[in-house]
Chains A and B, each alone.
Chain A
Amino acid sequence: MVDSAEIDLTRLEQDAKLDSTKNLLEVFKICKTFGTLRANHDVSFTLKAGEVHALLGENGAGKSTLMKILYGIQKADSGSITFMGKVVNIDSPAIARNLGLGMVFQDLRLIPALTVWENVALHTKLGGKILRKNNICELIDQASQRYGLAVDPNAKVGDLSIGEWQRVELIKVLLAGAKVLILDEPTSVLAPQEVDALFDIIRRLKNDGVGIVIITHKLREVRAIADRVSVLRGGKQILCDLPAQDITNDDLVKAMVGEFVNPITNSDRGSGSSSQSTLVALDLTLRAHGEGTGLKGVDFDVKSGEILGIAGIAGNGQRELADLLTGARMADRGDIELKGQRLTVAGPKHYRMAGMLGVVADPIREFVVPGLTVAEHAALWLATSSKKLRFDIGSATKWLHQVADRIGLPLAPSSKRLDQLSGGNIQRVILTLAFADPSQGLVVSYPTRGLDVRTAEMTHGLLIDARKQGTAVVLISEDIDELLSLSDRIAVISHGRISGLLEAKNTDRLEIGRLMTQEAS
């Protein structure tokens, strides 16, 4: 509970005097249908002041819909929302903000060209018609000290790290007077150390009487921070308002997935089957273009039948590395060799034909052609992996059916337009194509992005299979658990350099996290 003697009276604190046994927010039997899909069906949960409530569920479970309803972006078909004892009608985000509901989105919504205080001023309308810089900066400083949200009000937002962005978002929402904070997958962009710092902040907010809803699918976070949990699956409520200590991890997974999924791990990791290096990167160097750090002399080798994990915070050179390894960009300096054959100067097609395949990092930008069907994308994939440019959609369809049967990832109908499918469905198509035939080398960027737990595990299985077949796999991911359980070795990338090369079985999250945040020397 709040220790009101210790700190000055602020708006926040008055609200925090609410009895913690009373509910700050009650969500009751919310229903929402889109066409024939029930996105939310009788969903309820309650939130007390000074509580962290974790809302768990897979992709497509209906978490985001629920949050959008709470924040006034969408309207529920039925059900009620009670805020501080009153039934409220939240028709727009402005109403939600005025009530004291603050939302921190997964894609942080700040304006990079403006400074921190300008962004805050924009959101909160502090100081009325005339911008009073000093007032706003003071408020920001107060809030940062109180909650440990270290941030410089005069810094340009575009220059900040992603962790700092998130802190600015939090300050913005808090200064707008939020009594309930909704955090949508807040840790997905953070390094482990930053996650710990965020949890510290959440604990302080909680002590101050703020009610916090945290949307997540990571059990680790539930354990670390949540007081109570609710679980959604397929739009239905599976668990409601359960104290976190009353449920085991296994039961939580079962609640989320519906059945127990055996996490697939690389059981004999580190026991490299061959000593021969299949894929070698030598002194790869690329100037920084726009976003990203470029690469500054990256060396590594991947043996046949080995998975090399690349860990790092987004934007530290992973994109550039994946681009170079698949021939999508050319290095300014350095070499790439596959089975002793130098690939560096050739274009993407030569990489493909030499047996170097890739799973792209940004499917919409780099893979999906608007207007083309799933089958046509398969035809494109086949045509560009062979010498002659021949697009045979009929036989590509047949081929895709066979491959899909073998690979086992559920695919959308091949006559559907790919650009009209969801991220998860697009990703399944891309994975099916990449794993269709054994390859010499495989560069996989964020393979399980947008996938539900079951297909994510199937994808991990495919990676292990590829390893068994002797493929040299480079796995780029921001999910350290994924890297730890699949990789033989892990290379940590920071500021465009490899800051450490670790045996996966002899390391842990903290060591990786330390290397991830290592400053450039």
Chain B
Amino acid sequence: MSIFSPLAPKQDPPLDDLVNHEVEKKFSWSNLYRSSNMTFLLILTYIGSFFLFGLVALARGANPFGVFGAMLQSSVLNVGSIEQVILRAVPISLAALAVAVPARAGLVNVGGEGQLIMGAVAATGIGVAIGASVPGPIAWVAMAVAGAIAGAIWAGISGVLRTKMGANEAVTTLLMNFVANDVMLYLIYQPWRDKFSSGQPQSQPLAQSAQLPALFGSQLNLGVVIALVLAVVTWYLIRKSHWGFALRVVGGNQEAARRAGLPINKLLISSMLVGGSLAGLGGMLNLAGLEYQLVPGITASFGYVAFLASWLGRHDPIKVVVASLVFSAIALSGNGIQLGFGLDGSIVDVLLALIVMAPLFLSKTRKAAAK
């Protein structure tokens, strides 16, 4: 308290602010629940999610412990799998940051998927055109810039629709995902189709020099470093910069922001542009570091997984990266199930959903207990 002493009330403390904090002293289970450690409760709910998932597997006739074993095997129990988890987490975390930045301004960006796709499309266009004729680093930078711009445009369209016409950005970003997917499909079925692909719809692969090289004899590449750096940069932007503070005001109370004279439309659109460019870059890294060519389903719905990761990480860039790693592991763990148990690999989506819902359940019941 002493730091604030110059501001502390000189006479009686204002009584009325104390009335807001109602605390019952009597013992009850709900009080115990309310006062127990948040982290502990959170871990409990996550264990609960796995338990429920186990029940689902059991209901499908599989041994839950066997399923968990296979999932661990194909995600985190060997170095190769861990490297795969990290690689997949790169586009997921960048698309998740694309959700987190506009969320700061109160916008809901469901368009990570489309922005990833457009980033990959733009990177393919540039990469195929110049990849074979310029040195690697130049191709990488050109592809990265193109990917980021494409993602920014894709998200920016929704930002402009929102500010100029009042169209709900959650709806427009979602619809833009389908447009992006169709644009990509058109390109790989028609103009960009690889002639040597024995009938598969896919683009030409990137030239060897335009692909991101593996680092230190592992499967990991430069994309991992870039994703981590961008997470820190994003953290700085939304937590420490003037721009981030202004976004927070707009997101917290737009009417107050308007009355304070903040340029609301500029802030909303810029948050979408920054978010979109991050996802676009994610699409480029996914292409140049992992897929090397456009194929249908190249994003494997990572855009939607990223949306969940951002919400699970409460739009805090650092937590969002952690959540992206977890979701990447769960998504990959589906492969193990597919191979061993006759269950469909997509069953891991159930676990994913349960994990996202667990903390929601927690906050809901705590509120109810507080009443």
Question: Taking A34-B21, A372-B249, A384-B261 as contacts, is the C-beta distance between A367 and B256 under 8 angstroms?
Answer: yes
The answer to whether B259 and A391 touch across the interface, beta carbons within 8 angstroms, is: no
B247 CB, min distance to chain A CBs, angstroms: 11
Counting chain B CB atoms within 10 Å of each CB, which of A37, A348, A365, A425 scores highest? A37
Q: Provide the residues of chain A in CB contact with B300, threshold 8 Å.
A: none
Interface residues of A in 89-107 (CB under 8 A from B): none
Interface residues of B in 258-294 (CB under 8 A from A): 258-262
B368 contacts the other chain (CB 8 A): no
B59 contacts the other chain (CB 8 A): no
Question: Taking A412-B14, A413-B4 as contacts, is the C-beta distance between A347 and B9 under 8 angstroms?
Answer: no
CA distance A59 to B16 in the complex (A): 7
A66 CB, min distance to chain B CBs, angstroms: 13
Please, how many residues of chain B have a CB less than 8 angstroms from a CB on the other chain? 36
Please, how many residues of chain A have a CB less than 8 angstroms from a CB on the other chain? 57
- Option from A347, A352, A391, A420 in Cβ contact (under 8 Å) with B245: A391
Q: Chain B at the A interface: mostly helix, strand, loop or mixed?
A: helix
The answer to whether A424 and B259 touch across the interface, beta carbons within 8 angstroms, is: no
Question: Taking A366-B255, A369-B257, A413-B1 as contacts, is the C-beta distance between A401 and B249 under 8 angstroms?
Answer: no
The answer to whether B7 and A371 touch across the interface, beta carbons within 8 angstroms, is: no
The answer to whether B256 and A422 touch across the interface, beta carbons within 8 angstroms, is: no
- Option from A35, A61, A349, A404 in Cβ contact (under 8 Å) with B7: A404
Q: Provide the residues of chain B in CB contact with A348, threshold 8 Å.
A: 258-261
B25 CB, min distance to chain A CBs, angstroms: 8
- Option from A352, A365, A423 in Cβ contact (under 8 Å) with B16: A423
The answer to whether B16 and A410 touch across the interface, beta carbons within 8 angstroms, is: no
CA distance A35 to B9 in the complex (A): 20
Interface residues of A in 352-391 (CB under 8 A from B): 352, 360, 365-372, 376, 379-381, 383-384, 389-391
B198 contacts the other chain (CB 8 A): no
Q: Provide the residues of chain A in CB contact with B222, threshold 8 Å.
A: none
A242 CB, min distance to chain B CBs, angstroms: 23
Q: Provide the residues of chain B in CB contact with A192, threshold 8 Å.
A: none
CA distance A371 to B258 in the complex (A): 17
Contact with A along B9-38 (1 / 0, CB 8 A): 111111111111111000000000000000
Contact with B along A337-349 (1 / 0, CB 8 A): 0000000000111
Q: Provide the residues of chain A in CB contact with B4, threshold 8 Å.
A: 413-415
Counting chain A CB atoms within 10 Å of each CB, which of B13, B23, B248, B253 scores highest? B253
Question: Taking A370-B253, A401-B6 as contacts, is the C-beta distance between A422 and B14 under 8 angstroms?
Answer: yes
A360 CB, min distance to chain B CBs, angstroms: 7
Interface residues of B in 232-261 (CB under 8 A from A): 242, 245-246, 248-249, 252-253, 255-261
- Option from B1, B7, B21, B260 in Cβ contact (under 8 Å) with A380: B260
Q: Could you list 17 examples of A-B contacts with CB < 8 Å?
A: A34-B18, A34-B19, A34-B23, A35-B23, A60-B16, A234-B12, A348-B261, A349-B260, A360-B259, A369-B252, A369-B253, A369-B256, A370-B252, A404-B7, A415-B4, A422-B19, A454-B11
Chain B interface residues toward A at CB < 8 A: 1, 3-4, 6-23, 242, 245-246, 248-249, 252-253, 255-262
